[in-house]
């Protein structure tokens, strides 16, 4: 039986998306800039379901009963492929799922890539972006490697700012908890949009943060990128906190990592952090400082694990035979 497998990597936003313009089409209300990482990956296999008349989805070997997140992407794709197959989707992550590590972005991007290849569709980038975005607003960024801009003023085009080789920073993902998050990004964004008094200012700050980050990335300016990334991250967490009910993703371990990062910076190391909808802290650093940072964070905080990775590339089809 024909099976097609694709791998895609997660991406982490430096300038973040938090809030949707349109929740039906799942359109972000702002632009974002991200890095795609290496070594962490989602691997998704597609085959025809020859046993029953339904689509089936397995994540890390466990069958999901709720397919509502994948259906909009699947229906968009099957409309173009004209296939009426029922399919089996088997997706595996080599990192914790649903805990602020962008598993839905890499999961959806690997699914779209595998489906496109399975049905020989040869889709252009704009259809792949659309198919990904219907599944998760941050997923289109995982279609591209290195530093990526997703521009909401230009029909959500995703473009590469720098290739991974152009600025080979290291990325350290500090695992502060393995628990799945209690409030999904999707729910959290809706709450913030409706209730946070800071939401309009947050929207208003996006364009400036995007242009500051673009400039810093193009100049490979670590301290410039540090300032805009940390400011943007902390503003997003203020928006979350001032929502009603208040949404708090950071925990004590996250805060102790931030304190250590500030100490390391004061002693001359080049690094900065970002935190998404979960307590995990992502450190972007000069590879010369990686070992010192790992040792310091391991010995002086309660992080459970540190995943050391670099910048990654775009999704690819793999041959499993
Ligand atoms: C905090 O893309 O996971 O990571 O579109 O509802 O699937 P959905 O949300 P998602 O939200 C990402 C939020 C973020 C910031 C970012 O990655 O830009």
In the chain, what percentage of residues exceed pLDDT 90?
A: 92
> For 46-98, what is each residue's pLDDT tens digit?
999 999 999 999 999 999 999 999 999 999 999 999 999 999 999 999 977 66
Short-list 258, 290, 293, CA closest to 273: 258
User: Strand, coil or helix: what is 262?
Assistant: helix
pTM of the model: 0.96
Atom of ligand 1 nearest to the CA of 16: 18
pLDDT band of 141, cuts 50, 70, 90: very high
Asked if residue 26 has its Cβ within 6 Å of ligand 1, the reply is: yes
pLDDT band of 16, cuts 50, 70, 90: very high
Ligand 1 test: best mutation among 27, 277, 279, most atoms within 8 Å of CB?
277
Q: Chain-wide mean pLDDT for the chain?
A: 96
Report the DSSP beta bridge partners of residue 273: 283
Question: What's the pLDDT at 188?
Answer: 97
Asked if residue 296 has its Cβ within 6 Å of ligand 1, the reply is: no
> For 30-49, what is each residue's pLDDT tens digit?
999 999 999 999 999 999 99
> For 258-267, what is each residue's pLDDT tens digit?
999 999 999 9
For the cut 70, the answer to whether the pLDDT of residue 274 exceeds it is yes
Asked if residue 136 has its Cβ within 6 Å of ligand 1, the reply is: yes
Length of the chain: 321
- Are 19 and 28 within 8 A, CB to CB? yes
Question: What's the pLDDT at 23?
Answer: 84
Own/partner contacts of 126-132, CB < 8 Å, gap of 24 or more, are: 126/155, 126/157, 127/80, 129/156, 129/157, 129/158, 130/76, 130/156, 131/73, 131/76, 131/77, 132/73, 132/108
């Amino acid at each position: 039986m024909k099976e097609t497998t694709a791998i895609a990597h997660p991406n982490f936003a430096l300038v973040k998306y938090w809030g949707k313009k349109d929740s039906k089409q799942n359109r972000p209300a702002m632009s974002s800039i991200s890095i795609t990482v290496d070594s962490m990956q989602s691997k998704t296999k597609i085959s025809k379901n020859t046993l029953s008349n339904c689509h089936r989805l397995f994540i890390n070997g466990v069958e999901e009963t709720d397919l509502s997140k994948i259906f909009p992407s699947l229906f968009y794709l099957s409309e173009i492929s004209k296939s009426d197959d029922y399919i089996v989707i088997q997706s595996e992550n080599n990192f914790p799922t649903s805990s602020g590590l962008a598993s839905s972005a890499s999961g959806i991007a690997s699914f779209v890539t595998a489906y496109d290849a399975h049905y020989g569709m040869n889709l252009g980038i704009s259809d792949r972006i659309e198919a990904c975005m219907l599944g998760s607003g941050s997923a289109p960024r995982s279609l591209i490697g290195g530093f990526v801009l997703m521009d909401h003023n230009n029909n959500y085009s995703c473009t590469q700012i720098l290739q991974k080789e152009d600025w080979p920073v290291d990325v350290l993902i500090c695992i502060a908890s393995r628990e799945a998050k209690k409030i999904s990004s999707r729910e959290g964004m809706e709450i913030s949009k409706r209730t946070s008094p800071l939401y309009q200012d947050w929207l208003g700050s996006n364009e400036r943060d995007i242009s500051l980050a673009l400039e810093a990335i193009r100049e490979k300016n670590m301290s410039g990128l540090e300032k805009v990334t940390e400011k943007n991250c902390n503003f997003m967490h203020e928006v979350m906190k001032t929502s009603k009910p208040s949404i708090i993703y950071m925990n004590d371990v996250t805060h102790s990592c931030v304190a250590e990062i500030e100490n390391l910076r004061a002693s001359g190391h080049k690094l900065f952090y970002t935190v998404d909808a979960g307590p995990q802290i992502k450190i972007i650093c000069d590879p010369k400082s990686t070992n010192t940072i790992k040792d310091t964070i391991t010995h002086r905080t309660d992080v459970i694990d540190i995943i050391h990775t670099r910048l990654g590339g775009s999704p690819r089809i793999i041959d499993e035979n």
